[in-house]
Amino acid sequence: MRTVEEHRAALVGLVSALPPVTVPLSESLGRVLAADVVAAVDLPGFDNSAMDGYAVRSADVVGAGPASPVVLDVDGDIAAGDTRRHVLRRGATMRIMTGAPMPDGADAVVPVEQSDGGTDRAALMLAAEVGKHLRRRGEDVRSGDVVLRAGMRMTPGRLALAAASNVAEVLVAARPRVSVVSTGDELVGLGSPLDHGRIVDSNRPMLMALVEAAGAELVGFGHVGDDGEALASLLELGRGDPDLVLTTGGVSMGAYDTVKEVLSRSGTVEFSKVAMRPGMPQGAGVVGPRRTPIVTLPGNPVSSFVSFHIFVVPVLRALAGLDPEVALVDGVAAQGWSSVPGKVELTRVVLGPDGVRPSGGQGSHMLGALADATHLAVVDAATTNIEPGDVVHLLPLVGQD
Amino acid sequence: MRTVEEHRAALVGLVSALPPVTVPLSESLGRVLAADVVAAVDLPGFDNSAMDGYAVRSADVVGAGPASPVVLDVDGDIAAGDTRRHVLRRGATMRIMTGAPMPDGADAVVPVEQSDGGTDRAALMLAAEVGKHLRRRGEDVRSGDVVLRAGMRMTPGRLALAAASNVAEVLVAARPRVSVVSTGDELVGLGSPLDHGRIVDSNRPMLMALVEAAGAELVGFGHVGDDGEALASLLELGRGDPDLVLTTGGVSMGAYDTVKEVLSRSGTVEFSKVAMRPGMPQGAGVVGPRRTPIVTLPGNPVSSFVSFHIFVVPVLRALAGLDPEVALVDGVAAQGWSSVPGKVELTRVVLGPDGVRPSGGQGSHMLGALADATHLAVVDAATTNIEPGDVVHLLPLVGQD
């Protein structure tokens, strides 16, 4: 029986990183940066006023105060957005708005509150020193500064910073292209009536959602019954030219476990038992003329859901050129639960304000617990009991709030 | 000067909830449920085996044990996925796989580990009582159970549960349709060279990203200069039939504040100072023949970013039929900072493992701080200093990790 780490390493070893891609900044939301982003301009781009007031030469307002106003000619107004190049003559001032570019020659601003508000001539009551109430060009960001680092995911705020830095394109990690195939004669399409022994093909929509939520691109999906020939041809096809094929079902030891039967014959896909619960039966390898990597997930929906997080996410990250390992977060158990000995137990849990609790029934057939779960608790093979107050290691679920 | 609450209430009052929409489950990822989801089938859908082993009538294995095996004829195999209806005759057994449907008449399973593994006749060494190693039909979910509640956001796990419950469509909150217009002659498109006094039109891509990350649909965007006529016509147009128009810029008191000038004349848009920092100048109302709601955001990118979170998110939520209020989370300050008296201060902060810290320079022109910020700390008007250890109230940033 393989350990989780051994199987994960084998899977990650099947793939190579896809080359990163350049995208327009406007299409980068949610993508992961593959290179640092370097500012193309200074921020602010020019000296500008931090207040509504009067742009002055500080030398002209020496000694100014409430009791000793300095009166200067007002040579005009500069609004935010004014792109003209103004020059402030000695002994004069210009009215200036917050954010407006400083006129050449001015080196300080007297706020309107410390003036008489004059429009032709103004009495200024502050001996503003050099730089007072100014925002200096480049004081936030300098052209050439690294403003965002490789590995960061693009959020609206980061996109705003890159945009203001006049960066029109960014290099981002590729989105792996994934095909999803569910297998099994017993499956019926969503919304169809269920006869005896039939179940809804819920793995396919689930995996499609997981693929999308994990930042990969779904390029094909389908269902095949337990007809080995159809199955084999579908896998040969590599429809949509995927970087990865995911199947669910048919990997146990039943008479209908066609995926295992067909792919074992190919010699390029290996089936293993992995020391974890749920999700013991696993398989992986390459298929088709392009030797497309394939991961065969168990048909049990909970096992498939858990396996996606434990094995497929690292493969998708490796394809994207990222560290395959997802960082676990620590939580404190608010209640105890038991765990299977000798296997890693992946408990569906809710991380709430009071700590970590299993989110309902944990049988591998129990889907109800998925409604509220936020994380998988990764309980190692040696641990058989979690006690309240224990620190537990949590893997965040993909696409979770 | 309005309070934040007063202005927010005025904005939310401009809109009515859009009717919820029915979408195929496969397109529901990330959407917010507008109605409870009710299971259409039992989960599991039929009694099935929890183990690989032998389906038995418990009456036939009374007294069985390691020292006293009961030997039964094996009448066949039932694999997971077998949809035939089997009947177990008295005094016989059938081999059964995990997840396979129980044959009629059987009421318990003897695990293969407690047998001799026989295929024609099997020696069973467990006196399995009624229900032993069975998963009962409906023990996870019963047809008619509420499996997901209105207001929940659809995650892959919830989608899986709804799919398994044979729910093909769900009613979700509408995605409001939003147009974004940036204004100002000083703005140049991303990637263009910057002359004196010009700045990159970063608000437009930023707001487009925020709209998308907030779950709304972008139906139009553009930029207009400070030509009042062009501006007025653009706003009249309601291109793309939006539910909400956002503008940035032109709402202060400068000579170039065309948005304010043009829309004030309409009589249907009101401009206000709001007691907050950043983001004091705000405006809102309705425009055009359809009386489309409009929110005019300040042109300063940081003010615009903050205003989106404080004012636009509640409007989008109201349009979607959700509680406009976003729940704040509590954090503990890891370092102190000062806050403006008399106004709500919205500090861009990072919530890290050691607590809450301002994420760099907080000047309203400081965009660098947006790279790492995860939340806005909402510091009320009466508070002028946050001390280390203080509890602060945090608004999560839209589209954050």
Query: Residue B16: which pLDDT band, with cuts at 50, 70 and 90?
Result: very high
**According to the 3-state scheme, what is the secondary structure of A177-233?**
EEEEEEECCCEECCCCCCCCCCEECCHHHHHHHHHHHCCCEEEEEEEECCCHHHHHH
A42 within 8 A of A130, measured Cβ to Cβ = no
Q: Is residue A324 part of a domain?
A: no
For residue A235, the model assigns a pLDDT of: 64
For residue B295, the model assigns a pLDDT of: 96
pLDDT > 70? residue B254: no
Q: Which residue has the higher pLDDT, B227 or B237?
A: B227
CATH of residue A278's domain is 3.40.980.10
Tell me the helix, strand and coil percentages in chain A, rounded to 5: 20, 35, 45
CB contact under 8 A, A81 and B200: no
For residue A229, the model assigns a pLDDT of: 76
Task: Using CA coordinates, name the residue in chain A closest to B160.
Answer: A206
pLDDT > 90? residue B74: yes
Q: Which residue range forms the structural domain that includes residue A391?
A: 329-396
B215: β partners: none
- Regarding whether B301 and B182 lie in a shared domain, the answer is yes
A296: β partners: A247, A283
Q: Which two tokens stand for residue A387?
A: 């006690």
- Average pLDDT in the A113-137 region? 97
Q: How far is residue A236 from each of residues A251, A256, A282, B174, B297, measured CA to CA in Å?
A: 18, 20, 20, 41, 55
pLDDT > 90? residue B79: no
B230: β partners: none
pLDDT > 70? residue B256: no
How is A338-358 classified by DSSP, letter by letter?
E--TTSEEEEEEEEETTEEEE
Residue A56 CA to its chain's centroid (Å) = 47
CB contact under 8 A, B305 and A157: yes
- Regarding whether B167 and B183 lie in a shared domain, the answer is no
Query: Residue B288: which pLDDT band, with cuts at 50, 70 and 90?
Result: confident
Query: Residue B265: which pLDDT band, with cuts at 50, 70 and 90?
Result: confident
Q: Which residue has the higher pLDDT, B263 or A317?
A: A317
- Regarding whether B190 and B117 lie in a shared domain, the answer is no
For residue A61, the model assigns a pLDDT of: 98
For residue B270, the model assigns a pLDDT of: 92
Task: Using CA coordinates, name the residue in chain B closest to A364.
Answer: B50
Q: Is residue B324 part of a domain?
A: no
- Average pLDDT in the B226-237 region? 70
**Distance between CA atoms of residues B15 and B291, nearest Å:** 10
Quickly count: other Cβ atoms within 10 Å of residue B350's Cβ.
Answer: 19
Cα dihedral B2/B309/B202/B344 (nearest 10): 40
- Regarding whether B305 and B186 lie in a shared domain, the answer is yes
Q: What is the pLDDT of residues A97-111, one digit of tens each?
A: 988 999 999 999 999
A359 within 8 A of A306, measured Cβ to Cβ = no
For residue A236, the model assigns a pLDDT of: 65
- Cβ-Cβ contacts under 8 Å for A12 (sequence gap 6 or more): A314, A315, A318, A324
Helix (H) or strand (E) holding B157: helix B156-164
Average per-residue pLDDT for chain A: 93
For residue A238, the model assigns a pLDDT of: 62
Query: Residue A94: which pLDDT band, with cuts at 50, 70 and 90?
Result: very high
Burial class (CB in 10 A: 0-12, 13-18, 19+), B130: exposed
Tokens 């066949």, residue located: B76
- Average pLDDT in the B297-304 region? 92
Largest CA distance in chain B: 99
For residue B236, the model assigns a pLDDT of: 65
**Distance between CA atoms of residues A27 and A64, nearest Å:** 53
Task: Using CA coordinates, name the residue in chain B closest to A51.
Answer: B364
Nearest by CB to residue A196, choosing from B101, B141, B160, is B101
Say what the ipTM of the complex is.
Answer: 0.91
**Distance between CA atoms of residues B234 and B221, nearest Å:** 10
The packing angle between helices A258-266 and A228-237, to 10°, is: 60
Q: Which two tokens stand for residue B30?
A: 């990330």
Q: What is the pLDDT of residues A328-381, one digit of tens each?
A: 999 999 999 999 999 999 999 999 989 999 998 888 889 999 999 999 999 999
User: How are beta strands B70-78 and B92-96 bridged, if at all?
Assistant: parallel
Average per-residue pLDDT for chain B: 93
- Regarding whether B191 and B167 lie in a shared domain, the answer is no
What are residue B217's phi and psi, to 5 degrees? -110, 130
- From the CA of B70, how many Å to the nearest CA of chain A? 25
Quickly count: other Cβ atoms within 10 Å of residue A89's Cβ.
Answer: 12
For residue B96, the model assigns a pLDDT of: 95
Q: Is residue A103 part of a domain?
A: yes
pLDDT > 90? residue A221: no
- Average pLDDT in the B322-337 region? 95
For residue A240, the model assigns a pLDDT of: 73
Q: Is residue B345 part of a domain?
A: yes
- Average pLDDT in the B54-61 region? 98
- From the CA of A378, how many Å to the nearest CA of chain B? 18
What is the SS3 assignment for B291? Answer: coil
Last residue of some domain: B268, B289, B319?
Answer: B319
CATH of residue B333's domain is 2.40.340.10
CATH of residue B124's domain is 2.170.190.11
Euclidean distance between the first and the last CA atom of chain B, given in angstroms as a whole number: 35
CB contact under 8 A, A26 and B208: yes
Q: Which residue has the higher pLDDT, B255 or B383?
A: B383
- Regarding whether B183 and B306 lie in a shared domain, the answer is yes
Q: Which residue has the higher pLDDT, B363 or B396?
A: B396
Tell me how many domains chain A contains.
4
- From the CA of A167, how many Å to the nearest CA of chain B? 6
Q: Which two tokens stand for residue B277?
A: 């920092």
CATH of residue B33's domain is 3.90.105.10
How many CB pairs lie under 8 A apart between chains A and B? 292
A315 within 8 A of A332, measured Cβ to Cβ = no
Considering only CB atoms, which chain B residues are within 8 Å of A41?
194, 200
- Regarding whether B94 and B61 lie in a shared domain, the answer is yes
Q: Is residue B401 part of a domain?
A: no
pLDDT > 70? residue B158: yes
**Distance between CA atoms of residues A17 and A322, nearest Å:** 8
CB contact under 8 A, A164 and B48: no
A371 within 8 A of A390, measured Cβ to Cβ = no
- Regarding whether B371 and B279 lie in a shared domain, the answer is no
Helix (H) or strand (E) holding B331: strand B329-332
pLDDT > 70? residue B130: yes
For residue A234, the model assigns a pLDDT of: 63
Q: What is the pLDDT of residues A153-181, one digit of tens each?
A: 999 999 999 999 999 999 999 999 999 99
- Cβ-Cβ contacts under 8 Å for A51 (sequence gap 6 or more): A98, A109, A111, A112, A133
- Regarding whether B309 and B208 lie in a shared domain, the answer is yes
Task: Using CA coordinates, name the residue in chain B closest to A140.
Answer: B366
- Cβ-Cβ contacts under 8 Å for B332 (sequence gap 6 or more): B355, B356, B389, B390, B391, B392
What are residue A398's phi and psi, to 5 degrees? -65, 135
**Distance between CA atoms of residues A250 and A371, nearest Å:** 26
Q: Is residue A401 part of a domain?
A: no
pLDDT > 70? residue B255: no
- From the CA of B111, how many Å to the nearest CA of chain A? 15
Q: Is residue B112 part of a domain?
A: yes
**Distance between CA atoms of residues B134 and B55, nearest Å:** 9
Which has the closest alpha carbon to A378: A14, A10, A3? Answer: A3
What sections of B274-379 are H helices per DSSP?
301-307, 313-319
Considering only CB atoms, which chain A residues are within 8 Å of B216?
none
Q: Is residue A297 part of a domain?
A: yes
How is A308-336 classified by DSSP, letter by letter?
IIIIIHHHHHHHTTS-SPPPPEEEEBSS-
CB contact under 8 A, A197 and B82: yes
R_g (Cα) of chain A, nearest Å: 31
Tokens 């608790």, residue located: A377
pLDDT > 90? residue A22: yes
- Regarding whether B118 and B10 lie in a shared domain, the answer is no
Task: Using CA coordinates, name the residue in chain A closest to B76.
Answer: A255
Task: Using CA coordinates, name the residue in chain B closest to A258.
Answer: B81
What is the SS3 assignment for A378? Answer: strand
Weakest-pLDDT range from A129-143, A249-263, B68-82, B149-163: A249-263
Cα dihedral B359/B364/B367/B371 (nearest 10): 30
Q: What is the pLDDT of residues A57-75, one digit of tens each?
A: 999 999 999 999 999 999 9
Which has the closest alpha carbon to B102: B144, B143, B171, B50? Answer: B50
**Distance between CA atoms of residues B354 and B351, nearest Å:** 8
Nearest by CB to residue A81, choosing from B45, B185, B373, is B185
- C-alpha angle B155-B159-B165 in degrees, rounded to nearest 5: 150
Considering only CB atoms, which chain B residues are within 8 Å of A25?
190, 205
Q: What is the pLDDT of residues B179-215, one digit of tens each?
A: 999 988 889 999 999 998 899 999 999 999 999 999 9
Query: Residue A262: which pLDDT band, with cuts at 50, 70 and 90?
Result: confident
Q: How far is residue A363 from each of residues A37, A110, A145, A384, B101, measured CA to CA in Å?
A: 47, 71, 53, 16, 17
- Average pLDDT in the B319-324 region? 96
B376 within 8 A of B4, measured Cβ to Cβ = no
Cα dihedral A66/A67/A68/A74 (nearest 10): 40
- From the CA of A46, how many Å to the nearest CA of chain B? 7
- Regarding whether A312 and A182 lie in a shared domain, the answer is yes
- Regarding whether B167 and B126 lie in a shared domain, the answer is no
- From the CA of A387, how many Å to the nearest CA of chain B? 23
